[in-house]
Amino acid sequence: MEKKILFLDLDGTLLTDSKDITEENLAAIQKATELGHAIVVCTGRPLVSTAKQVEKLGLTAPGCYAITSNGALIYDAHAQETIFYKGVHKDCIREAFDEAYKFHLHPQTYNQAGALCEHDTEEMHYYSASTILPYEVVEDVTKALDKEPDPIKMLFIDLHDRSRLEAFRQHMEPWAEKNHLDMFFSCDQYLEFLPEGINKGSGVRFISEYLNIPYEHTLAAGDAENDITMLKAVKLPCVMKNARPEMHAYGAYITERDNNHSGIAEIIEKFML
Protein backbone atom coordinates (compact mmCIF):
# COMPACT_ATOMS: atom_id res chain seq x y z
CA MET A 1 0.00 0.00 0.00
CA GLU A 2 1.28 3.47 -0.90
CA LYS A 3 2.19 5.67 2.06
CA LYS A 4 0.19 8.90 2.10
CA ILE A 5 0.82 12.04 4.12
CA LEU A 6 -1.98 14.22 5.51
CA PHE A 7 -1.18 17.78 6.63
CA LEU A 8 -3.71 18.87 9.23
CA ASP A 9 -4.59 22.33 10.45
CA LEU A 10 -5.68 22.40 14.12
CA ASP A 11 -8.09 25.25 14.93
CA GLY A 12 -11.32 25.09 12.94
CA THR A 13 -10.18 21.86 11.26
CA LEU A 14 -9.05 19.03 13.54
CA LEU A 15 -10.19 20.71 16.77
CA THR A 16 -13.79 21.51 17.65
CA ASP A 17 -14.80 25.07 18.49
CA SER A 18 -14.19 24.21 22.16
CA LYS A 19 -10.61 23.12 21.20
CA ASP A 20 -11.26 19.39 21.76
CA ILE A 21 -10.57 16.39 19.52
CA THR A 22 -13.55 14.13 18.83
CA GLU A 23 -13.22 10.41 19.57
CA GLU A 24 -13.98 9.69 15.91
CA ASN A 25 -11.16 11.95 14.67
CA LEU A 26 -8.73 10.37 17.16
CA ALA A 27 -9.68 6.83 16.14
CA ALA A 28 -9.30 7.65 12.41
CA ILE A 29 -5.85 9.20 12.96
CA GLN A 30 -4.72 6.15 14.94
CA LYS A 31 -6.01 3.81 12.22
CA ALA A 32 -4.18 5.79 9.51
CA THR A 33 -0.85 5.83 11.38
CA GLU A 34 -1.14 2.11 12.17
CA LEU A 35 -1.42 1.51 8.41
CA GLY A 36 1.84 3.44 7.91
CA HIS A 37 0.42 6.75 6.69
CA ALA A 38 1.94 9.97 8.04
CA ILE A 39 -0.11 12.64 9.80
CA VAL A 40 1.58 16.03 10.17
CA VAL A 41 0.02 18.75 12.30
CA CYS A 42 0.34 22.05 10.43
CA THR A 43 -0.66 25.04 12.52
CA GLY A 44 -0.21 28.73 13.20
CA ARG A 45 0.31 27.90 16.88
CA PRO A 46 3.82 28.10 18.30
CA LEU A 47 5.72 24.96 19.30
CA VAL A 48 4.98 25.14 23.05
CA SER A 49 1.24 24.86 22.33
CA THR A 50 1.53 22.45 19.37
CA ALA A 51 3.72 19.98 21.29
CA LYS A 52 0.88 19.50 23.82
CA GLN A 53 -1.64 18.76 21.05
CA VAL A 54 0.74 16.37 19.29
CA GLU A 55 1.17 14.46 22.54
CA LYS A 56 -2.60 14.37 23.08
CA LEU A 57 -2.99 12.89 19.59
CA GLY A 58 -0.33 10.28 20.23
CA LEU A 59 1.63 11.59 17.22
CA THR A 60 5.05 11.14 18.79
CA ALA A 61 6.20 7.90 17.13
CA PRO A 62 9.16 7.85 14.71
CA GLY A 63 8.16 9.73 11.56
CA CYS A 64 5.80 12.15 13.35
CA TYR A 65 6.40 15.84 12.66
CA ALA A 66 4.70 19.18 13.30
CA ILE A 67 4.80 22.34 11.20
CA THR A 68 4.29 25.15 13.73
CA SER A 69 3.97 28.95 13.61
CA ASN A 70 2.71 28.72 10.00
CA GLY A 71 5.95 27.12 8.79
CA ALA A 72 8.48 29.19 10.77
CA LEU A 73 9.42 26.22 12.98
CA ILE A 74 9.30 22.52 12.00
CA TYR A 75 9.61 19.92 14.71
CA ASP A 76 10.49 16.23 14.84
CA ALA A 77 7.96 15.10 17.48
CA HIS A 78 9.70 11.76 18.08
CA ALA A 79 13.24 13.09 18.49
CA GLN A 80 11.79 16.23 20.16
CA GLU A 81 14.02 18.51 18.12
CA THR A 82 13.65 21.45 15.77
CA ILE A 83 14.64 20.66 12.18
CA PHE A 84 13.84 24.07 10.63
CA TYR A 85 13.60 27.61 12.05
CA LYS A 86 13.28 31.07 10.54
CA GLY A 87 12.27 34.11 12.60
CA VAL A 88 11.08 37.67 12.06
CA HIS A 89 13.95 40.15 12.26
CA LYS A 90 13.92 41.81 15.69
CA ASP A 91 14.50 45.27 14.19
CA CYS A 92 10.93 45.23 12.76
CA ILE A 93 9.09 44.67 16.00
CA ARG A 94 9.01 48.06 17.73
CA GLU A 95 7.61 49.86 14.70
CA ALA A 96 4.94 47.21 14.04
CA PHE A 97 3.75 47.27 17.67
CA ASP A 98 3.54 51.08 17.72
CA GLU A 99 1.55 51.14 14.47
CA ALA A 100 -0.82 48.46 15.84
CA TYR A 101 -1.57 50.58 18.90
CA LYS A 102 -2.74 53.40 16.60
CA PHE A 103 -5.36 50.98 15.24
CA HIS A 104 -6.35 49.90 18.79
CA LEU A 105 -5.13 46.35 18.15
CA HIS A 106 -3.43 43.93 20.52
CA PRO A 107 0.10 43.07 19.27
CA GLN A 108 2.16 40.14 20.54
CA THR A 109 5.29 38.23 19.66
CA TYR A 110 7.08 35.18 21.10
CA ASN A 111 10.12 33.94 22.96
CA GLN A 112 11.14 30.33 23.68
CA ALA A 113 8.73 30.06 26.63
CA GLY A 114 5.54 31.51 25.15
CA ALA A 115 3.95 34.80 24.06
CA LEU A 116 5.21 38.31 24.87
CA CYS A 117 3.06 41.45 25.02
CA GLU A 118 3.18 44.90 26.59
CA HIS A 119 -0.39 45.11 27.99
CA ASP A 120 -2.46 42.51 29.83
CA THR A 121 -5.52 42.58 27.57
CA GLU A 122 -8.74 40.64 27.00
CA GLU A 123 -7.17 39.47 23.71
CA MET A 124 -4.10 38.08 25.46
CA HIS A 125 -6.27 36.16 27.96
CA TYR A 126 -8.40 34.73 25.16
CA TYR A 127 -5.40 33.70 23.06
CA SER A 128 -3.54 32.14 26.00
CA ALA A 129 -6.59 30.14 27.13
CA SER A 130 -7.48 28.88 23.65
CA THR A 131 -3.93 27.84 22.70
CA ILE A 132 -2.86 26.68 26.20
CA LEU A 133 0.15 28.98 25.90
CA PRO A 134 1.85 30.86 28.76
CA TYR A 135 2.53 34.56 28.25
CA GLU A 136 4.52 37.35 29.84
CA VAL A 137 3.68 41.05 30.01
CA VAL A 138 6.83 43.17 29.63
CA GLU A 139 7.50 46.89 29.44
CA ASP A 140 9.25 46.66 26.06
CA VAL A 141 9.19 43.50 23.93
CA THR A 142 12.32 44.50 22.02
CA LYS A 143 14.33 44.67 25.25
CA ALA A 144 12.82 41.36 26.43
CA LEU A 145 13.95 39.74 23.15
CA ASP A 146 17.44 41.21 23.32
CA LYS A 147 19.28 37.95 24.03
CA GLU A 148 16.73 35.67 22.32
CA PRO A 149 16.79 34.38 18.72
CA ASP A 150 14.56 36.23 16.22
CA PRO A 151 10.94 35.49 17.20
CA ILE A 152 8.87 33.10 15.07
CA LYS A 153 6.25 35.72 14.18
CA MET A 154 4.16 38.70 15.24
CA LEU A 155 0.43 38.37 15.82
CA PHE A 156 -2.18 41.15 15.89
CA ILE A 157 -5.55 40.47 17.48
CA ASP A 158 -8.99 42.10 17.42
CA LEU A 159 -11.70 39.89 18.91
CA HIS A 160 -14.64 42.02 17.78
CA ASP A 161 -13.93 43.79 14.48
CA ARG A 162 -12.06 42.12 11.61
CA SER A 163 -12.28 45.33 9.56
CA ARG A 164 -9.78 47.02 11.90
CA LEU A 165 -7.27 44.25 11.18
CA GLU A 166 -7.98 44.60 7.45
CA ALA A 167 -7.35 48.35 7.63
CA PHE A 168 -4.12 47.73 9.55
CA ARG A 169 -2.96 45.17 6.97
CA GLN A 170 -3.62 47.63 4.14
CA HIS A 171 -1.78 50.38 6.04
CA MET A 172 1.24 48.09 6.65
CA GLU A 173 1.59 46.73 3.10
CA PRO A 174 4.46 49.02 1.92
CA TRP A 175 6.23 48.59 5.29
CA ALA A 176 5.89 44.78 5.19
CA GLU A 177 7.24 44.66 1.65
CA LYS A 178 10.24 46.79 2.63
CA ASN A 179 10.94 44.51 5.62
CA HIS A 180 10.41 41.26 3.67
CA LEU A 181 7.39 40.13 5.69
CA ASP A 182 4.21 38.34 4.60
CA MET A 183 0.84 39.09 6.25
CA PHE A 184 -2.22 36.83 6.38
CA PHE A 185 -5.25 35.95 8.51
CA SER A 186 -5.20 32.66 10.43
CA CYS A 187 -8.81 33.32 11.54
CA ASP A 188 -11.11 36.35 11.63
CA GLN A 189 -9.51 37.60 14.86
CA TYR A 190 -5.81 36.97 14.10
CA LEU A 191 -3.54 38.71 11.60
CA GLU A 192 -0.07 37.13 11.35
CA PHE A 193 3.25 38.65 10.20
CA LEU A 194 5.92 36.11 9.13
CA PRO A 195 9.22 36.18 7.21
CA GLU A 196 8.64 36.45 3.45
CA GLY A 197 8.10 33.06 1.80
CA ILE A 198 7.51 31.28 5.12
CA ASN A 199 4.06 29.76 5.35
CA LYS A 200 2.33 26.41 5.71
CA GLY A 201 3.03 25.64 2.03
CA SER A 202 6.79 26.06 2.48
CA GLY A 203 6.51 23.74 5.52
CA VAL A 204 4.61 21.12 3.50
CA ARG A 205 7.26 21.14 0.75
CA PHE A 206 10.08 20.91 3.32
CA ILE A 207 8.54 17.88 5.09
CA SER A 208 7.56 16.09 1.85
CA GLU A 209 11.15 16.43 0.62
CA TYR A 210 12.60 15.56 4.02
CA LEU A 211 10.53 12.34 4.17
CA ASN A 212 10.84 11.68 0.45
CA ILE A 213 7.07 11.41 -0.08
CA PRO A 214 5.97 12.11 -3.67
CA TYR A 215 3.50 14.91 -4.41
CA GLU A 216 0.94 12.36 -5.67
CA HIS A 217 0.58 10.99 -2.13
CA THR A 218 -0.02 14.31 -0.34
CA LEU A 219 -3.30 15.58 1.19
CA ALA A 220 -4.14 18.54 3.39
CA ALA A 221 -7.15 19.83 5.32
CA GLY A 222 -7.76 23.42 6.39
CA ASP A 223 -10.34 26.15 6.86
CA ALA A 224 -8.67 29.61 6.90
CA GLU A 225 -6.59 32.02 4.81
CA ASN A 226 -3.30 30.83 6.36
CA ASP A 227 -4.12 27.33 5.00
CA ILE A 228 -4.22 28.42 1.34
CA THR A 229 -0.48 27.89 0.69
CA MET A 230 -0.73 24.43 2.33
CA LEU A 231 -3.76 23.49 0.21
CA LYS A 232 -1.96 24.65 -2.95
CA ALA A 233 1.13 22.57 -2.08
CA VAL A 234 -0.61 19.15 -2.03
CA LYS A 235 -2.22 16.83 -4.57
CA LEU A 236 -5.56 16.56 -2.72
CA PRO A 237 -6.59 19.75 -0.91
CA CYS A 238 -9.60 19.33 1.39
CA VAL A 239 -11.51 22.32 2.78
CA MET A 240 -13.72 22.10 5.85
CA LYS A 241 -17.45 22.65 5.56
CA ASN A 242 -17.19 25.36 8.26
CA ALA A 243 -14.61 27.42 6.30
CA ARG A 244 -15.46 30.90 5.00
CA PRO A 245 -17.24 30.53 1.60
CA GLU A 246 -14.29 32.07 -0.31
CA MET A 247 -12.08 29.20 0.94
CA HIS A 248 -14.11 26.57 -0.96
CA ALA A 249 -12.37 27.51 -4.22
CA TYR A 250 -9.11 26.05 -2.81
CA GLY A 251 -10.53 22.58 -2.11
CA ALA A 252 -10.69 19.64 -4.50
CA TYR A 253 -12.93 18.18 -1.78
CA ILE A 254 -15.25 20.02 0.65
CA THR A 255 -16.18 17.98 3.74
CA GLU A 256 -19.82 17.14 4.41
CA ARG A 257 -19.16 17.38 8.16
CA ASP A 258 -17.69 20.38 9.96
CA ASN A 259 -14.90 20.58 12.56
CA ASN A 260 -17.39 19.90 15.39
CA HIS A 261 -18.61 16.68 13.73
CA SER A 262 -15.39 14.81 12.85
CA GLY A 263 -14.79 16.20 9.37
CA ILE A 264 -11.20 14.89 9.55
CA ALA A 265 -12.38 11.33 10.16
CA GLU A 266 -14.49 11.75 7.00
CA ILE A 267 -11.36 12.69 4.97
CA ILE A 268 -9.22 9.89 6.42
CA GLU A 269 -11.92 7.24 5.84
CA LYS A 270 -12.59 8.42 2.29
CA PHE A 271 -9.03 8.89 1.03
CA MET A 272 -6.60 6.99 3.28
CA LEU A 273 -8.20 3.86 4.77
For residue 178, what pLDDT band results from cuts at 50, 70 and 90?
very high
Domain that holds residue 267: 5-85+198-271
In this structure, what DSSP letter does residue 1 have? Answer: -
Q: What is the pLDDT of residue 179?
A: 97
Q: What is the pTM of this model?
A: 0.89
User: Where is the domain boundary, 195, 213, 237?
Assistant: 195
Same domain, 117 and 73: no
Please name the residue ranges forming H helices in 65-161.
Answer: 93-102, 122-131, 141-144
Q: How high does pLDDT run on average in the chain?
A: 95
Q: What percent of the chain has pLDDT over 90?
A: 90
Q: What is the pLDDT of residue 138?
A: 98
**Taking residues 228-247, what's their average pLDDT?**
97
**Taking residues 188-209, what's their average pLDDT?**
96
Q: What CATH number has the domain bearing residue 147? A: 3.30.1240.10
Instruction: Report the 10 Å Cβ neighbour count for 1.
Output: 7
Give the range among 47-56, 134-143, 149-158, 259-268 with minimum mean pLDDT.
Answer: 47-56
Q: What is the pLDDT of residue 88?
A: 97
Q: Which residues contact 200 (CB under 8 A, 6 or more apart)?
A: 7, 9, 42, 67, 70, 71, 222, 226, 227, 229, 230, 233
User: Where is the domain boundary, 195, 222, 240?
Assistant: 195
**Taking residues 34-53, what's their average pLDDT?**
92
Buried b (16+ CB within 10 A) or exposed e, 251-271: beeebebbbebbbbbbbbeee
CA dist 112 and 215 (Å) reads 33
Q: What CATH number has the domain bearing residue 75? A: 3.40.50.1000
Same domain, 189 and 138: yes
- Antiparallel, parallel or unpaired: β 5-8 and 218-222: parallel
Which pLDDT tens digit goes with each residue over 123-133?
Answer: 999 999 999 89
